[in-house]
Amino acid sequence: MNFISLAAATETFLVKETVIMLVTVLIAAALGYFLGSINTAVLYSKLRYKKDIRDYGSGNAGMTNMLRTFGKGAAAITLLGDLGKTVIAILLTQLIAMGFGSLSDQLGMEYMNLAAYTAALFSITGHCFPIYYKMRGGKGVAAVAAAAAVLSPMAFVCLLILFVLMVWGFKYVSLASVICVMLYPVLLNRLYGPGISNIFALVIAALIVWRHRENIKRLWNGTENKISFKKKKKDDNGESGKDGK
């Protein structure tokens, strides 16, 4: 009788565990996607300049195109917004997961990683394919950086140093972005060992590389634009020039 009771209690616990994990993942996905779909570049360009950044330069709703089109101030605001929304999505998801109490403690670190990386992945997806802007978003690099900074700080520092050196040396933001994001799952495995985070990192890397497919073609053909650190003369509308592709 005791054995039967123990088996029934174990089965009940496993069912509750599975339900909580499923609910947490669904909440993380929804929270990440809808927050990630808020595009700082589109909002700021429309509010500040009465223009849609997607109609200028490379057509990409991200920091690099904002830098080329509207200057450093607009690019900085875009970067902060893109970083912030992903960080908020991850932290809120972690709070929700911990809010389940002792059960979340029993599920362990993998449960928390699953929830956090789900929020990160869907925030990045929302940035790339925002529901509020007809699926026309950015390329997700800043969102990936934010996720890495929160979830894998050692890997983030290594990749940030590499990114800065590559941009400084080669002047290609796209090249540095693709190389760094491809190295992300490799670094995770080396620094933290195997785990569910590696699977998410591989999916994220594949998404970002695919979003840069046109940049990769231009890099191959030698027609990709280099980033310029020189201050450009702005016109009356605040534009710095439309040299993006």
Inside any domain, residue 37: yes
Residue 23 CB coordination number (10 Å): 13
Whether 233 is in a domain gets the answer: no
Taking the C-alpha atoms of 25, 31, 33 and 36 in order, what is their torsion angle to the nearest 10 degrees?
A: -140
Instruction: Please tell me the predicted confidence (pLDDT) of residue 164.
Output: 96
By C-alpha distance, which of 144, 171, 174 is closest to 58? Answer: 174
What's the pTM value of the predicted model, to 2 decimals?
0.84
How far apart CA 131 and CA 33 sit, in angstroms, is 9
Q: Are 43 and 218 in contact (CB under 8 A)?
A: no
Tell me, what DSSP letter sits at residue 238? Answer: S
Domain assignment of residue 245, yes or no = no
The pLDDT value recorded for residue 57 is 86
User: Does 241 map to a domain?
Assistant: no
Per the domain annotation, does 8 fall within a domain?
yes
Q: Where are the alpha helices (DSSP H) in 152-212?
A: 153-170, 173-192, 196-211
Q: What percent of the chain has pLDDT over 90?
A: 63
Is residue 8 predicted with pLDDT exceeding 80? Answer: no
- Report yes or no on 227 lying in a domain: no
Q: Residue 69: pLDDT above 50? A: yes
DSSP state of 232: P
Model confidence pLDDT, tens digit, residues 99-151: 765 554 545 677 788 999 999 999 999 999 999 988 988 999 999 999 999 99
pLDDT at 244: 38
Q: Are 84 and 98 in contact (CB under 8 A)?
A: no
Domain of residue 44, residue span: 2-221
Q: For the chain, what is the domain count?
A: 1
Residue 226 counted as domain residue: no
Confidence tier at 234 by pLDDT (50, 70, 90): low
Token readout for 7 is 């088996």
The pLDDT tens digits of the residues spanning 167-224 come to 999 999 999 999 999 999 999 999 988 888 999 999 999 999 999 999 999 999 999 9
- Residue 245: its pLDDT value, please? 35
Angstrom distance (rounded) from CA 35 to CA 126: 7
Is residue 197 in a domain? yes
The whole-angstrom separation of Cα 15 and Cα 147 is 30
